[in-house]
Structure 1
């Protein structure tokens, strides 16, 4: 899978909730921490993973860290994932198509 390990990024419910929050708009680190019942260091670890995978971006506004969703990375990861799944299914879909078409030929003969 390309540069981003989307599975690592999305594999945790806390990270998925952070991404859902950022989908609504940019958030400060404080706002993200306050949305969870877990410690700030734990949240910072999750944010670091999302940053490492380039799923989110971080900027400074005065003394605040602002996080935002990196839609471009998400979009290309999504496309890569669809392509990958498509390749896995290709053989099955081709077999299914052949099966259905042969079935239709059988029906026409009757």
Structure 2
């Protein structure tokens, strides 16, 4: 699974993904959209590429970046399942706590 937390943990990377959800962009278009240097944007793009959340292709001398929706969907499903399991465990613990009546001692 891609490290979604690493990929989404930075506001610039989230901004890049937000731009790419509207369509493919060149590296030049992405650089123009942010108030940081081209090398800094490239570093963010490399992280997104490493996690396979975006892909890179060439059109002549231009690099074109696009979202990989399948990878995002898989990551979303895995995170959703993980959070669901955490919540299920918490609900079971709460149910056991309530059934034992331990909270009555705290109320008295």
TM-score (ref. length: structure 1): 0.83
Aligned length: 99
Q: Compute the displacement of 1:97 (Å).
A: 6.2
Q: Compute the displacement of 1:96 (Å).
A: 5.2
Q: CA RMSD in A?
A: 1.7
State the alpha-carbon separation in 2 of the partners of residues 48 and 29 from structure 1. 12
State the alpha-carbon separation in 2 of the partners of residues 28 and 52 from structure 1. 18
Q: Compute the displacement of 1:92 (Å).
A: 2.0
Q: Compute the displacement of 1:87 (Å).
A: 1.2
Deviates more, 1:75-84 or 1:91-100: 91-100
Q: Which runs of 5+ in 2 are unaligned?
A: 99-108
In structure 1, the residue matched to 2:79 is: 81
Q: Which runs of 5+ in 1 are unaligned?
A: 101-110
TM-score (ref. length: structure 2): 0.85
